[in-house]
Homo-oligomer: A and B are copies of this chain.
Amino acid sequence: MRSASDDLTARARIREAAIRAFARDGFDAVSMRAIAKDAGVSAALIVHHFGDKNALRTACDDYVVAAFIDDKHELIEAPTADRIRAALNDVERYGPYVDYLGRMLGDSTPAADRLFDEIIRVTRDVLDEQRAAGLLVEMSDPEMTTLLVAMMGLAPLMMRAQVGRVLGHDQLSPAGMLRTTLPTLELLTHGIYSSTAFLDGARQAVASETAPEAAPRTDHPTEGGAS
């Protein structure tokens, strides 16, 4: 029953066990003793190595953030044909960390802030690059769009369990990634609407809301929404 974690130092085993447990149940729901048991050590050794439970958490935070930031920029970047294939076979290696990352983004720890900032930064850089190459359409608010694109990539991580349940298979498995890829790029390339009716309606609504003194919103007939 012994796994590949046997050849790790106790310190690393504790960290791995903690990451697994925190990702599965959340920081507060996991006791030091549970982590210790899973790592095959005593609870006191965790304190010996990490200081206290919060320090263990930040150690896990830093480790996971580093694992994604240091050598995984390409996972966040926009997909190209070859990158997609590479990613498909790679995702499983990061399985244990993906759930941890999803949980981090919900909280507001310093490490989570750093991670989110970094993800936004990389997304922005990629989009800027693509814009310079003439690959992007014009957009009214590039920074907000950056956030939206980043969130599109992050959402499946945070809702992994729900999405997997609805889909019937894990979205982050190779098969799931395969199924996600095409619809995502369709959405990013053509949108979903064939008409500009919704967009036009929103433009009017926003205009009349941001400058209501110039255009006093009486009951003029412009808001006759279809459906």
Hey, which bits of chain A sit against chain B, CB under 8 A? 26, 28-29, 78-85, 88, 102-103, 105-108, 112-113, 116-117, 120, 127, 129-130, 133-137, 139-141, 144-145, 147-149, 151-152, 154-156, 158-159, 161-163, 165-167, 178-199, 201-206, 209-210, 222-223, 225-227
Contact = CB atoms under 8 A, between A and B. Distances in A.
A127 B193 CA distance: 10
Contact of A209 (B88, B117, B166): B88
Contacts of A190: 137, 190-191, 199
Nearest to A208: B85
A132 to B, nearest CB: 10
Given A158-B106, A182-B141, A136 B194 contact: yes
A129 B227 CA distance: 9
Nearest to A135: B195
A153 to B, nearest CB: 9
Among A26, A105, A151, A223, residue most surrounded by chain B Cβ atoms (within 10 Å): A151
